[in-house]
Amino acid sequence: MLFSTPYMPGVNGAYNLVQVRSLLEKGDLGLPDLPLTFALHAALAKLISWFNGGDLAAAIVLAVKLADAVLPPIAAWPVCWLAAVWCERRGQSRTLALVPAAIVVLSSPLLVMVGDLPKNSLALVWLAGLIAMAAAFLQSPTWKRALALLACLALAGLTHIGVFGSALLFAACLAMSVAVLQNNRRRLNLLPWAGAAVVVVALVAAVVMWKFDPSRIHRLAEAFTLPGQFFGDNMSMPGPPGGPQNGFHLLRWLAVGLFAMCALPALILVWRERAVLAASDAAVVAGCAFTVLAMTGPWVQGDTAVRFYLIAIVPAVLCGTFALLHIGRAWIRWTLAGALSLLLCGPSVPQVLRGGQPALSDGALAELSSLRTFVPQPGRTLICAQHGVEWWTAWLLHTDIAQPSGLRASDWQRYDTVLFLQSKTILRHLPPPRAAVQIPADAVILHDGPCFILARVASTPSSVNAESAIH
């Protein structure tokens, strides 16, 4: 999926290239974000550039693709390990542990993130590691396991704010489960490590707020302190072309049902067999189940729902595996495991055969690259482009970019030139239209090609004036 195209797949693929280039050339990210993924990409790109003669752009593309191909599949390791432990405790073959391991790497929803959302993909490794280390630590608390658990939490906090929030949610659900399922002595023994986790979270949040992106920490805090307001602000994701009648809402309810089918049986089993289950397993499974239900219930809608579903797959697969292992008849157990694998991984076959696809066609990207002749001073130029085009514009033309909703009247004072880039073609992966660029009547047309119109806008359009007044 990554190497079938010379470009980056997905809508946001070029965003990662822009951030890595900025880190290498300027020593800082071009846009506020969490740094770990881009730092790893930049280090690998620097290493590659030493061997390929210093072609930085080619090194960045190769580094991002290599990292995205190699790092996210590591999530299969902790998932497989924990599932194998459960298999042994149930006296069953560890072969079943390969099923959840395959799902967290090869399932169709997670393959959608390949090349497009590497931060999310890498952060799922830390989430899977956190869950596995929590199980190991609760079974036999040692300082090495505690440090590994705290490291996974910190790494998630430096990688992706959504997964970090999910990790905190899991930690809270785990703490509640431990409080209910473990005895008083064990609870007291765990208190110092719980305090250490709070300190780690506070330090990570402080570093992100100070150095990288305080707005993300504010949003995360809002999600926990004002969940009604947070979810209310994230319910406006448009459906596919044609609207709800094309089955978008049906798919959402199908997803809600599948997550519930994984979490609820596991939760019921934990409560019913709490007297005989290992306390560590019971607490971890309950923590995973409550996390899944909180992240995938019908109260989560819009863009937030899609993002949460991708994250919740990891704890949901572990809950489903735990429930499957309690089915007495092997043929039923394997039939259900096979059906779940087929449902999630079957659609991956045409995805892989089709290969990765950027938001723009090869012809559109070639035309966009040719527009460099109209940008003699990239560092003093701002280009307004719609989502899906803006990152490729920044990567290929080396300019600053803005979406239409992000323009401000002050931009015409900050930059020597402001250009509007209007796309004539429908973008892959995005329902049309989405924040299309409207060229003002008094703009000077510089280029009118098969895929794009490029225009110079000398003065602030009235729509931007009105929006600026609001903000």
Residue 240: predicted pLDDT: 39
Provide the edge-to-edge strand list for the sheet that holds 417-423.
Answer: 400-402, 381-384, 417-423, 452-456, 444-448
The secondary structure of residue 358, as a DSSP letter, is B
**pLDDT for 323:** 94
Q: Are residues 375 and 308 in the same domain?
A: no
Q: Are 74 and 253 in contact (CB under 8 A)?
A: no
Within a domain: 58: no
The residue from 353, 373, 396 where one domain ends is: 353
Based on the fold, state whether residues 346 and 364 are members of the same structural domain.
no
pLDDT for 383-423, tens place per residue? Answer: 999 988 999 999 999 999 999 888 998 999 999 999 999 98
Residue 455, in any domain of the structure: yes
Between 287 and 359, the higher pLDDT residue: 287
- Position 288 confidence tier, pLDDT thresholds 50, 70, 90: very high
Q: Where are the alpha helices (DSSP H) in 159-235?
A: 161-181, 184-207, 214-225, 227-232
Note whether 347 and 391 are same-domain residues.
no
Phi-psi region of 398 (alpha: psi -120 to 50; beta: other; left: phi over 0): left
For 68-72, 272-276, 282-286, which range has the lowest pLDDT when averaged over its residues? Answer: 272-276
Choose the final residue of a domain: 320, 353, 386: 353
The C-alpha atoms of residue 67 and residue 354 are separated, in whole angstroms, by 21
CA-CA distance, 471 to 194, in Å (whole number)?
Answer: 41
> Is 416 within the bounds of a domain?
yes
Structural domain includes residue 420: yes
Phi-psi map region of 388: left, alpha, beta (phi>0 left; psi -120 to 50 alpha): left
**Range of 426's domain?**
360-471
* Highest mean pLDDT, choosing among 39-53, 214-228, 248-262: 39-53
Contact 49, 425 (CB under 8 A): no
Residue 42 within a domain = no
Q: What is the pLDDT of residues 309-332, one digit of tens each?
A: 999 999 999 999 999 999 988 899
Domain co-membership, 125 together with 273: yes
Residue 52: what pLDDT? 79
The closest alpha carbon to 75, from 159, 175, 174, belongs to 159
Decide if 102 is inside a domain. yes
Domain co-membership, 341 together with 411 = no
pLDDT value of residue 428: 63
CA distance 69 to 105: 11
Residues 144 and 192 placed together within one structural domain of the fold: yes
Tell me: do 281 and 334 sit in the same domain: yes
User: How many domains is the chain partitioned into structurally?
Assistant: 2
**pLDDT tens digits for range 235-269:** 444 443 334 444 557 777 888 888 999 999 999 99
Query: Do residue 380 and residue 254 come from a single domain?
Result: no
pLDDT above 60: residue 471: no
On the 0-12 / 13-18 / 19+ scale of CB atoms within 10 A, 290 is buried
Q: Do 343 and 453 share a structural domain?
A: no
Looking at the domain assignment, is residue 51 inside a domain? no
Q: Which residue has the higher pLDDT, 426 or 233?
A: 426
Structural domain includes residue 4: no
pTM here is 0.89
Considering the domain architecture, whether residues 394 and 443 belong to the same structural domain is answered as yes
The per-residue pLDDT for range 158-182, each reduced to its tens digit, is 999 999 999 999 999 998 888 887 6
User: How far, in Å, CA of 428 to CA of 148, rounded?
Assistant: 40
Q: Are 9 and 1 in contact (CB under 8 A)?
A: yes
What is the tens place of the pLDDT at every residue in 82-104?
A: 999 999 999 888 999 999 999 99
If asked whether residues 332 and 364 sit together in one domain, one would say no
Tell me the percentage of the chain whose pLDDT exceeds 90: 57
Q: What is the pLDDT of residue 236?
A: 45
The answer to whether residue 117 scores a pLDDT higher than 50 is yes
From 329, 353, 377, give the residue that closes a domain: 353
Averaged pLDDT of the chain: 86
- What phi and psi, each to the nearest 5 degrees, are found at residue 410? -65, -15
Q: Are residues 233 and 262 in the same domain?
A: yes
- For residue 239, what pLDDT is reported? 42
